[in-house]
Amino acid sequence: MHKLRVVTADEGLRNRILFVLSALVVFRLLAAIPIPGVSASALASFLGGNQFLGLLNIFSGGGFANLSIMMLGVGPYITASIVMQLMTILVPRLKEMYQEEGDAGRKRFSQYSRYLSVPLSFLQAFAFLLLLQQNGVVSELTLLGLVTNVTVIAAGSIFLMWIGELISEFGVGNGVSLIIFAGIVATLPTTVAQLVFSFSIAQLPIYVGFLAAALVITAGVVFITEAERPIPVTYARRVRGSRVLGGISTYLPLRVNQAGVIPIIFALSFLLFPQMIATFLSRIDVAWLASSASTVLSALNNQWVYGGLYFGLVVVFTYFYTAITFEPHQIAKNLQKNGAFVPGVRPGATTSEYLGNIITRITLVGALFLGVLAVLPIVLQGVTGITTLTIGGTALLIAVSVVLDLVKKIDAQTSIREY
């Protein structure tokens, strides 16, 4: 209550929160405007059997569920950010810009991501319209209609990216994350309504178990998201003139889940590629090739096979992305440059090896947790047979992460005002 009073009394913070709410209202209004020629029944059937498009619907803030002008959401920007992160491996200049040039370098890096998201918006809009036409979700378009729809959809994604940047600059929290969070929250009334209308007394124990599991899983997400391994660090004493500097003991926090939600995105994208190729090959006239493609499709449509592959890929990509974003060698170099060391560990290469071994061990916990979280909806639906039970998954991880980050930002603003 005290924090709430501080928030309402702080005019600057209150205006920032109102700006965020206003921007999200504009986003939700635009997300309700559909593109022409959509078959609602075909769309619901198509989305129901595709995990990747379900993820895209999360990133579009629910805009893909009704094929609105915001159907791509912030997906192109997220794709561009992932591509830029991967490019740091191939282009040393980008790596130096992101890791060694401070805030100015990261701002330029983000600007390049925004530039890249523009052509990706047009490319993804064109690809998804063709895919939806092939599956009968969207009626056949003329060339002018196709160009118009592609332009409108791409413009919607770029406009939403701009709204996200405005929220980050003039509001509170990360704009892109808040847009995704708003889309997740917007689907809650529909989910609750489905649960209510499909409720029966015979299924009461399942629903009670569902509620208990939801609370436990949410607590687990909070715990893993906030969990970190502190590495003690001591700064050596240095004498400069009449002053003695250093001699301070602190710690280096290593997060258990360094990769966040990115491994789940990578895994779903990786699983989508063979599905798209097999779908295309299953329609050609070569009998043996079409038969092989159909076999691959039937295997991927088996939820247990799909879930096993999904879990394994999430674990692999968690290690992969952590290796990209966390460099023990660079951290050891920075510690040595600043006269700091880990007690009992020699500076330099030994410290780098020590940090590498620790991050490998704690990443295993984070990778297994992400893998379980990703396949949990598939397992629950397979066990209970109730398709509306979707505990866990990417949406829950994003929602909890955004709420925790927002609470921290607001708490930091109120603490500054109190001081």
Report the CATH number that the domain containing residue 25 is assigned in CATH. Answer: 1.10.3370.10
Residue type, 141: L
Q: Which two tokens stand for residue 121?
A: 């918006």
Cβ-contact 78, 176 below 8 angstroms: yes
Q: Specify if 243 maps to a domain.
A: yes
93 within domain boundaries: yes
What pTM value is reported for the model?
0.77
Is residue 253, in this structure, part of any structural domain at all? yes
Strands 228-235 and 340-341, by their bridges, are antiparallel
**Quick one: CA torsion of 185, 218, 223, 314, rounded to 10 degrees?**
-80
First to last CA, the chain: 18
* 406 found inside a domain: no
Residue 118 pLDDT: 92
At residue 158, the pLDDT reads: 92
pLDDT value, residue 54: 64
Is residue 290 classed exposed, middle or buried when 0-12, 13-18 and 19+ CB atoms within 10 A define those classes?
A: middle
- Over residues 405-417, the mean pLDDT reads 75
Which of 229-233, 260-264, 277-281 shows the lowest mean pLDDT across its residues?
277-281
Helix axes 2-9, 393-418, angle to 10 degrees: 70
Evaluate if residue 280 carries a pLDDT over 70: no
Does residue 230 or residue 131 have the better pLDDT?
230
* Poorest-pLDDT segment among 5-9, 262-266, 405-409: 5-9
Query: How many domains is the chain partitioned into structurally?
Result: 2
Q: Do the beta carbons of residue 44 and residue 54 sit within 8 Å?
A: no
Does 337 lie in the same domain as 250?
yes
Q: What is the predicted pLDDT for the residue at 39? A: 67
Q: Which of 30-34, 55-59, 163-167, 203-207 is predicted least confidently?
A: 55-59
> Is the pLDDT score of 390 beyond 70?
no
| Residues 174 and 227 grouped into a single domain | no
If asked whether residues 207 and 279 sit together in one domain, one would say yes
Residue 412 included in any domain: no
Same domain flag for 170 and 226: no
Domain annotation covers residue 297: yes
Give the residue from 118, 117, 155, 149 showing the smallest Cα distance to 133: 149
* Residues 12 and 132 reside in one and the same domain: yes
Q: Secondary structure of the chain in the HEC alphabet?
A: CHHHHHHHHCHHHHHHHHHHHHHHHHHHHHCCCECCCECHHHHHHHHHCCHHHHHHHHHCCCHHHHCECCCCCCHHHHHHHHHHHHHHHHCHHHHHHHHHCHHHHHHHHHHHHHHHHHHHHHHHHHHHHHHHHHCCCECCCCHHHHHHHHHHHHHHHHHHHHHHHHHHHHCCCCHHHHHHHHHHHHCHHHHHHHHHHCCCHHHHHHHHHHHHHHHHHHHHHHHHHHCEEEEEEEECCEEECCEEECCCEEEEEEECCCCCCHHHHHHHHHHHHHHHHHHHHCCCCCHHHHHHHHHHHHHHHCHHHHHHHHHHHHHHHHHHHHHHHCCHHHHHHHHHHCCEECCCCCCCHHHHHHHHHHHHHHHHHHHHHHHHHHHHHHHHHHHHCCCCCCCCHHHHHHHHHHHHHHHHHHHHHHHHHHC
Of 169-178, 247-256, 293-302, 307-316, least confident by mean pLDDT is 293-302
- For 303-347, how does the pLDDT look when each residue is reduced to its tens digit (9 = 90+)? 778 788 888 888 988 898 888 778 888 888 888 887 888 888 888
Nearest to 44 by CA among 65, 27, 25: 65
> Which position has the token pair 């889309």?
183
Provide the residue range defining the domain that includes 75. Answer: 1-186
Higher pLDDT, 254 or 271: 254
Same structural domain, 229 and 300 = yes
Residues 174 and 260 in one domain: no
CA angle 407, 409, 412 (to 5 degrees): 105
Q: How confident is the model over 10-20, as a mean pLDDT?
A: 82
pLDDT in tens, 117-127: 999 899 888 87
Instruction: For residues 207 and 201, give the distance between their C-alpha atoms in angstroms, rounded to a whole number.
Output: 10
Residue with token string 């704690």:
362
Please report how the helices 75-90 and 102-134 are oriented relative to each other, as an axis angle in degrees rounded to 10.
120
| Same domain membership, residue 102 and residue 159 | yes
Q: Is residue 417 part of a domain?
A: no
Q: What's residue 4's pLDDT? A: 61
The answer on 99 and 61 residing in a single domain is yes
